Structure 1
């Protein structure tokens, strides 16, 4: 059963990755071949540079989120670290959780994401956020390009009219849906980034926030170090370059074995 589960998980993940890449291609085709290609030379060049830069940056973040180590605990630690996971026997430092999909523990585990076929944890959370953020910008630009081309009556001379309209309609629906889902996901992660918490940790923190509010006190998030330092824990010290440069590798100072935490909180 474990073999079938792992095999089924691999198949599903492969299908999802191919689907993401296929939909990305459809989005590019709809924006470029059916819209940008019909702009005047100046705007065509302008939009092509921006659009394909975003696409390359988006795909780089996607591939990094898929293939980067999410933060597996070391198998042979230098110090005598005693806590271990009862399921996978890997080290289990603070903020580490066992992923039932991967069958392994992940440091600063946020969730297992089917869209990147990987755990989202300490070492690839920044790539995951960049994947969503750049994808949102690229999808929005694509939608604007297509809608503007329709309003301006720009037609694709090589396209059959009926197929052209159907393709544009499908692209608009897909892109708008993608934007809505991405915005929802990104908004949900704002408090996680702001207070340096994971999705799992937010459940306990939300309970503690309500409890503190009833007692008339302010709740201090255990690992909140301020917005700038929280962002550096996700993207490294070169936050801007991490977002702007395709395939940029985030260099994190934290090793996942221990974290700076507020002294007034209980861990």
Structure 2
């Protein structure tokens, strides 16, 4: 029995290690898809269209400008998510007691099973430390992550409090970019199968076909993933919490759609669609730092 448990733990460790290695491959895969798409749209199709003259040049110019703008935002959001630490528990962290609120940790036993004998304080036995509210342990990273959503192999990183916005923007711009590439290459794709003849070298035709199929597949898959995360943001819930709170009648972090959105994207509208936060938002919104979160009981207490 003990030997079986040891083998299982060892296999899980190897699986987590494999995920880290897989992530590096995923970054190369993302860059490869970007490269194929760039070659098909810019070099093979619409780049030469700039010198065609007339309406074709105008259409090519518009598509190329939009393509490059979306590509910049996609890569900016992607690498911001890759290189931004999702948030770790500070050394010797302790919950700040709030006598007026009478609650040191928003995650009470009525919402989630306590990790320790103290129903108000959650404890990670793997890290041997207290856990802030909405914090979970990642087996791949081997540490507790603030407001952990999931570990994403595509970004070789956990998605948590400090990079969740960047991850959502990456999904958003990926959907727009892949949809644009799919639509811009659709006429060539239809012409190839409809007429059987289309100008271009065999290499450029193969690249156009591959880019169309890849971008169509990514657009459809990312659209479903994006819709799911939009619903999570609307209810101020992470992927992990959405699974764990199925038996919870009321979710105390649901502050209404507007405030839920601000808990992820901030209050400064100028920063909503770029992977960054204003200094003012970081100062006045503790939730963006991943350690403190307003909840419904807090709002009730403020009224008194």
TM-score by length of 2: 0.73
The corresponding residue for 2:174 is 135
**Distance in structure 2 (CA, Å) of the matches to 1:55 and 1:156:** 27
Give the direction of change, closer, same or farther, for the CA distance of 1:194–1:6 in structure 2 (3 Å limit): closer
* Residues 67-110 of structure 1: CA deviation (Å, up to 9, x unaligned): 11112111144877875421123441111100000001011111
User: How far off is 1:176 after superposition?
Assistant: 0.8
Matched, 1:238 2:277: no
Give the direction of change, closer, same or farther, for the CA distance of 1:46–1:21 in structure 2 (3 Å limit): same
**Distance in structure 1 (CA, Å) of the matches to 2:277 and 2:188:** 37
The corresponding residue for 1:64 is 80
**Residue number among 142, 151, 160 corresponding to 1:121 in the alignment:** 160
After superposition, residues 135-214 of structure 1 pair within 5 angstroms as 135-149=174-188, 159-160=200-201, 162-208=202-248
What secondary structure does 2:47 align onto?
helix
The corresponding residue for 2:52 is none
Give the direction of change, closer, same or farther, for the CA distance of 1:90–1:116 in structure 2 (3 Å limit): farther
What secondary structure does 2:272 align onto?
helix
Task: Report if aligned partners of 1:55, 1:138 keep a CA contact under 8 Å in 2.
Answer: yes
After superposition, residues 29-48 of structure 1 pair within 5 angstroms as 29-39=39-49, 40-48=56-64
Give the direction of change, closer, same or farther, for the CA distance of 1:7–1:100 in structure 2 (3 Å limit): closer
Task: Report if aligned partners of 1:33, 1:156 keep a CA contact under 8 Å in 2.
Answer: no
Task: Report if aligned partners of 1:193, 1:231 keep a CA contact under 8 Å in 2.
Answer: yes
The corresponding residue for 1:215 is none
Task: Report if aligned partners of 2:135, 2:145 keep a CA contact under 8 Å in 1.
Answer: yes
The corresponding residue for 1:12 is 22
User: How far off is 1:152 after superposition?
Assistant: 7.6
**Distance in structure 2 (CA, Å) of the matches to 1:183 and 1:17:** 20
What secondary structure does 1:112 align onto?
strand
Task: Report if aligned partners of 2:39, 2:207 keep a CA contact under 8 Å in 1.
Answer: no
User: How far off is 1:231 after superposition?
Assistant: 1.2
What is the root-mean-square deviation in Å for CA atoms of aligned residues? 2.8
User: How far off is 1:27 after superposition?
Assistant: 1.4
Task: Report if aligned partners of 1:31, 1:143 keep a CA contact under 8 Å in 2.
Answer: no
* Residues 163-211 of structure 1: CA deviation (Å, up to 9, x unaligned): 2332222111111110111011112222211110111111233333xxx
**Residue number among 283, 286, 295 corresponding to 1:261 in the alignment:** 295
The corresponding residue for 1:52 is 68
Task: Report if aligned partners of 1:34, 1:156 keep a CA contact under 8 Å in 2.
Answer: no
**Distance in structure 1 (CA, Å) of the matches to 2:14 and 2:235:** 39
* Long gaps (5+) in structure 2: 1-9, 50-55, 98-120, 299-304
The corresponding residue for 1:103 is 142
When structure 1 is superposed on structure 2, of 105-114 and 75-84 the one drifting more is 75-84
Matched, 1:248 2:264: no
User: How far off is 1:8 after superposition?
Assistant: 3.5
* Bigger-Rg structure (1/2): 2
User: How many residues are treated as equivalent by the alignment?
Assistant: 249
Give the direction of change, closer, same or farther, for the CA distance of 1:46–1:93 in structure 2 (3 Å limit): same
When structure 1 is superposed on structure 2, of 131-140 and 2-11 the one drifting more is 2-11
